Amino acid sequence: MEVTEQSERRTARALYALLDLAKALSSEIDLDSLLKVIEEKASSVVEAERTNAFVLDSARGLPIGVAGEVARTRSVVNIVDAGSLLAVPIISSGGELLGVLQSMNKMTADRFDDDDESLMMAVASHVAVAIERARFTALSIENERLAAGLKLASEIQMRMLPSATVALSDDSPFEMHAYIRPAKMVGGDLYDFALKGNRLYFCIGDVSGKGIGSALVMALTKTLFRANAAYYADAAKLMEAVNVRLYEETGPTMFVTAFCGFLDLNDGMLRFSNAGHDRPFLLRRDGTVELLESKPGLALGVMPKFRYPLQDTTLARGDALFLYTDGVTEATNASEELFTMERLRDTLEGCAGDSVVRVLEKAIDAVDGFVEQAPQADDIAMMCIRYLGVRRRAAAFDRNLEELPRVMRLAERLDQAVRFPVELALEEIFTNIVKHNPAGKSNIGIDLDIIENEVVITITDFDTPRFDPIADAPEVDIGQTLENRTAGGLGIHLVKKMMDRIEYSHQNRTGTITLRKRMN
Amino acid sequence: MLDISVGENDEIILAGRFDAAEAEKARQIFLNLTDAKVVDFARLDYISSAGLGVLLAAQKKLSERGKGLRLINVNGHIRDVFHFSGFDQIFEIG
């Protein structure tokens, strides 16, 4: 009787302890904290002195001794040796061995009995669920952390690239736009550019491979280009400097193709160097498309002492350079067909008169329209730079013919075709003002702007009575005989012939003449 | 800058820019001419009404003696200037 009561009391206590364990397990998700709870609660369930939970770890292999035997045989061991010992396997619902639960030294008896075995098996099944849950939680936290890390890496990488849409003033001597779309969260394509005085430095590059490794080399390459571009004004020297460092810093299988250049914004002179990169296209102002002939140097990071060739070409006002990575031409549709350089060229030939932003939009649309639903296999990068030239020059001049050479300098950057008529107009109007209003107390201001396809010259005399050189100039009869010809009015006559439009306005002693001349 | 020199066949060679800043220097030379002259424009980059004025004065003076200037190698924009001003009618060009 007494024995039964004792036994019932014990069973009830064990069940409470088991419930307590289950409750504790459900609130613990960290594996290490979980093991502590298991060891403490399991001991009270089977009245053991202490309990150890061995969780199998693929890195460490099976435990030794009794626990090892339990792991191997997946069966219960209940023995009395130096003390009593009860060990049970922890097996998941899917049948996977997760570990071994081992209690030592039954405190209320010499050995663990059948009830203890049953209780330990019950504990082990709770522990299995808890371990699986902890592992799953840890895995999903890790995944989340990885995803968040990758998202951050992607953001950092995008931030490394200068903003693709460059806000430029109306009279900027160039316009440019860049686009990049990695195939994965992070990519190996890069571009860079910076304005250095009157020169625009730019580069585009493609790191071999894809994924995190390429992304790290991309970051390194971009940094090397930017840092060295501050020191070198020579595209070939810049390539050489980046190449040496890339060779030192990257493994033998990693390489980078790149194209870099410096565009002189005063005269359109483009000096460039190519390191195994796809040749850029030249988009001429008239809409024709050419490949920029360039010697393909070796890709960066392959050979430490490679001499990269320096080449040059001149961009006329309105000409643009289109650079891209092979993710564009090798974009693949569902039928495994490549976009190809020919399709890219066709697309660019349909971009006459488009802004650089529009050119990239059309190119991206063409690639996407071709690829349709097929997944993007490689990173895509494009950059378009259009040379516009110095579009606004302005200066103030003394009321003196000795200023003429300075006045002429306003026109020095113009294309040959318009330079002559513009110089003639500047000279004739300026000398006209100096001769007719020598007493004026102000400077004479001259602005030369290029607006769209037109040169607009504004000449302002800030201290003058109303004098319209065009309306007030004597008529010239070009049919007159030599004896009757005079030089009077000849200058204004030529200006009228050579300019497309002339306007005069006068207000508060300020007279302004505006002349316009179309460029081709 | 306007450079004025005499060629192998006694022709006047103009090189550079014949503008208002240079016209006075040229005037001294052209108004002292007493005989027919060939003027080579091949290396002349620019001419304005100031330059035309000098040539007109010289031509008028020479014509009083029944002589004149013959202009050769008049090309491009300078030819336009002669055309727009009607000077291609009062000079022998070619």
Give every CB contact of residue A515 below 8 A, 6+ residues apart in sequence.
Answer: A425, A429, A456, A457, A458, A459, A495, A499, A501, A502
Residues of chain B with pLDDT under 50: none
Percent of chain A with pLDDT over 90: 50
Question: Is B79's Cβ below 8 Å from some Cβ in A?
Answer: no
What is the Cα–Cα distance from B69 to B59, expressed in whole angstroms? 6
User: Which of A421, A423, A487 minimises the CB distance to B49?
Assistant: A487
Average pLDDT, chain A: 88
What is the Cα–Cα distance from B15 to B4, expressed in whole angstroms? 7
Chain A residues within an 8 Å CB radius of B55: none
Question: Is B81's Cβ below 8 Å from some Cβ in A?
Answer: yes
pLDDT tens-digit series, residues B3-12: 999 999 999 9
What is the Cα–Cα distance from A351 to A362, expressed in whole angstroms? 8
**Do A104 and A49 touch, CB atoms closer than 8 A?**
yes
Please determine, for residue A371, whether its predicted confidence score (pLDDT) is greater than 50: yes
Q: Would you place residue A166 in the very low, low, confident or very high pLDDT band (cuts 50, 70, 90)?
A: low
* Mean pLDDT value across residues A500-513: 94
User: Which of A405, A490, A497 minimises the CB distance to B21?
Assistant: A405
Average pLDDT, chain B: 94
Of A200, A250, A199, A198, the closest CA to residue A224 belongs to A250
Q: Would you place residue A59 in the very low, low, confident or very high pLDDT band (cuts 50, 70, 90)?
A: low
Q: Would you place residue A85 in the very low, low, confident or very high pLDDT band (cuts 50, 70, 90)?
A: very high
Poorest-pLDDT segment among A77-81, A115-119, A133-137, A366-370? A133-137
CA nearest A425 in B: which residue? Answer: B48
The predicted complex's ipTM stands at 0.95
Instruction: Give the pTM.
Output: 0.61
The residues in A 406-435 lying below 8 A from B, measured between CB atoms, are 408, 420-421, 423-424, 427-428, 431
The residues in B 34-73 lying below 8 A from A, measured between CB atoms, are 46, 48-50, 52-53, 56-57, 59-60, 63
Neighbour-count burial of A169, counting CB atoms closer than 10 A to its CB (0-12 exposed, 13-18 middle, 19+ buried): exposed
Q: Would you place residue A57 in the very low, low, confident or very high pLDDT band (cuts 50, 70, 90)?
A: confident
* B64/chain A closest Cα distance in angstroms: 9
Say whether B89 and A483 touch across the interface (CB within 8 A).
Answer: no
* Mean pLDDT value across residues A354-378: 92
User: Given this model, what pLDDT does residue A422 score?
Assistant: 96
Say whether A494 and B85 touch across the interface (CB within 8 A).
Answer: yes
Please determine, for residue A60, whether its predicted confidence score (pLDDT) is greater than 80: no
Q: Which of B1, B2, B19 to mutate to test the interface with A (most CBs of A within 10 A)?
A: B19
Poorest-pLDDT segment among A44-53, A58-67, A95-104, A482-491? A58-67
A23 — phi, psi (to 5°)? Answer: -65, -45
Please determine, for residue A3, whether its predicted confidence score (pLDDT) is greater than 70: no
pLDDT tens-digit series, residues A7-37: 777 777 777 777 777 777 777 767 788 888 8
Q: Would you place residue A167 in the very low, low, confident or very high pLDDT band (cuts 50, 70, 90)?
A: low
* Mean pLDDT value across residues A141-166: 77
What is the Cα–Cα distance from A506 to B79, expressed in whole angstroms? 35
* Mean pLDDT value across residues A88-117: 89
**Do A55 and A131 touch, CB atoms closer than 8 A?**
yes
Say whether B19 and A482 touch across the interface (CB within 8 A).
Answer: no
* B85/chain A closest Cα distance in angstroms: 6
Chain A residues within an 8 Å CB radius of B63: 482-483
A508 Ramachandran zone, left/alpha/beta (phi>0; psi -120 to 50)? left
Our CA dihedral for A239, A245, A251, A252, rounded to 10 degrees, sits at: 50
Please determine, for residue A333, whether its predicted confidence score (pLDDT) is greater than 90: yes
* B86/chain A closest Cα distance in angstroms: 5
Q: Would you place residue A1 in the very low, low, confident or very high pLDDT band (cuts 50, 70, 90)?
A: very low
Angle between helices B49-63 and A490-498 (to 10 degrees): 130
Side-chain-side CA neighbours of residue A49 (13 Å): 10
